[in-house]
Amino acid sequence: MARYIFITGGVVSSLGKGLASAALGALLQARGYTVRLRKLDPYLNVDPGTMSPFEHGEVFVTDDGAETDLDLGHYERFTGVAARRTDSVSSGRIYSNVLEKERRGDYLGKTIQVIPHVTNEIKDFLSVGADEVDFQLCEIGGTVGDIEGLPFFEAIRQFAQERPRGQCIFMHLTLLPYVAASGELKTKPTQHSVKELRSIGIAPDVLVCRSEHPIPEKEREKIGLFCNVRKESVIAAYDLKSIYEAPLAYHREGLDQAVLDAFGIAPAPKPNLARWHDVNERLTHAEGEVRVAIVGKYVQLEDAYKSIKEALTHGGMANKVRVKVEWVDSEVFDREDPAPYLEGYHAILVPGGFGERGTEGKIKTAQFARERGIPYLGICLGMQLAVIEAARNVAGFKTAGSEEFDHEAGKRRFEPVVYHLKEWVQGNHVVERTVTDDKGGTMRLGAYTAALVEGSKVAEVYGASRIEERHRHRYEVDTKYREALEDKGLCFSGMSPDGRLPEIVEWKDHPWFIGVQFHPELKSKPFAPHPLFADFVRAAVETSRLV
């Protein structure tokens, strides 16, 4: 049976619970254990799929088609363990399941209550896969005291109570604010956070304290005394230059040892941290720098493109260069020429997105990259807009556009080079969709296979003829325009196995111009950079040498 580590947070949100969970998972792996990381979110959305990136950052998609929290991206990047649908749940999903059971009559006429029905549903979720790994790390979203999080806290309290002694521990993240006027770190917020946690029946075994300054020994003793935690289990979490320093930083602070001590595992296996020393070596000893522009419409919130930024960092590590990512608002180009803004960059990336806002600026960006010979990577909508640009400016379809924008406007204005996807093959059955379907969970989601054209740039990059990548889209490039576009040099170099859905396009006579319908950034890791990003950065390095 797996041992369980429940990670909670207090004082303020965004302290880095997801990163701490991911780093701890990596450290346990380094000691030879198998791990699974999971996220329990208190919000009432069934999943983050219908949320704006401004609300919740990017949506991370799993191989089996779940739309999940961006923290699952951290989990995958740090451990290499592919997340699954059963690794993410929200209050919305829990309540939805409970109400569906009530409608079916599963509760045999009982009055449905938070305790025991909602908490039992949460415990059932926690029990999934209990015999598959050595450790399950379960992060509870939000902070202790949030009213919507109370059922989750009660459920993990019950869960730990019902398991044999020593099978579950609690790790709590708090903030130690520094008051400049007095020159002191203040422990009171941490004390109050732990007091709140203890009031609902949970006593933390390990405290991780986020701080901008070193924690003096005297303060550690004070925290340990007032929070009823061993001094050695008060772990400092300092700000780092890179998130990939976290495993080594937490190891130096003794986090993995404190966790193993809390479980009574002694003697503990020695860690092999060679992988993380190599990652940090590549990060800190870069041999150059390239500038990459991400042209999007959610640039005010970097978390909207979290996986893309990290995948570019991984691509830089593969080429031993530092990638300086700069965010460019595509809406500016709706009104202005992109050339003055983009001329200094060595490569351009246009990411996915939804809606018409900012798309004309992205089309101009694709045109700039095509005409100037600048490396271009278009992802999802970034690919579709590159095709629209080619259709308008090269193939002569002056009103080329996407049905998505016509549906949004409520009238037809464009020739639909990109259309609403009505059916596709998933496994051994056909999925059908209509424009009027519910928005949540109805896109083409998860891992699908693509067949690559022999001799194409992408076949060379991947070193394969078939690949599997993760998707999240409901609009698709129409193959009836394929012949006209290929006559002008835009090669459809990757297709679905049945030949009906374009997966990849590339310009034959361009140094590096590739658009992909899928999201390669979701599978990139610091110790295994995605081949597309590694080669994209390599092309940027080539461009930097020519400038």
Return binding residues for ATP. Answer: 14-19, 71, 240
Distance CA 39, CA 8 (A): 11
Chain length of the chain: 547
Known binding-site residues for Mg(2+) equal 71, 139
Distance CA 429, CA 450 (A): 17
Q: Can you point out the beta strands (E) in 316-439?
A: 322-329, 347-350, 376-379, 400-402, 415-420, 423-426, 429-432
Q: Which of 380, 415, 503, 510 is catalytic?
A: 380
Q: Which of 314, 471, 519, 530 is catalytic?
A: 519
Look up 380 and say whether it is catalytic. Answer: yes
Using only C-alpha atoms, the chain has a radius of gyration, in whole angstroms, of: 25
Distance CA 234, CA 219 (A): 10
How do 234-238 and 289-296 pair as beta strands?
A: unpaired
Known binding-site residues for UTP equal 13, 186-191, 222
Distance CA 134, CA 256 (A): 14
DSSP type of residue 198: H
Kindly report the number of other CB atoms within 10 A of residue 397's CB atom. 18
Kindly report the number of other CB atoms within 10 A of residue 53's CB atom. 22
Known binding-site residues equal 13-19, 71, 139, 146-148, 186-191, 222, 240, 353, 381-384, 404, 474
DSSP type of residue 494: E
DSSP type of residue 48: G
Phi, psi of 462 (to 5 degrees): -80, -25
Known binding-site residues for L-glutamine equal 353, 381-384, 404, 474
Look up 192 and say whether it is catalytic. Answer: no
Q: Report the C-alpha dihedral over residues 371, 377, 383, 386, rounded to 10 degrees.
A: -10
Using CB atoms within 10 A of its CB, is residue 520 exposed (0-12), middle (13-18) or buried (19+)?
buried
Cα end-to-end distance, the chain, whole Å:
58
Distance CA 545, CA 547 (A): 6
Q: Report the C-alpha dihedral over residues 440, 530, 75, 63, rounded to 10 degrees.
A: 40
Known binding-site residues for CTP equal 13, 146-148, 186-191, 222
Q: Which residues contact 249 (CB under 8 A, 6 or more apart)?
A: 23, 237, 238, 240
Burial pattern 109-125, b for ≥16 Cβ within 10 A else e, equals eeeeeeeebbbebbeeb
Look up 172 and say whether it is catalytic. Answer: no
Active site amino acids: 380, 519, 521
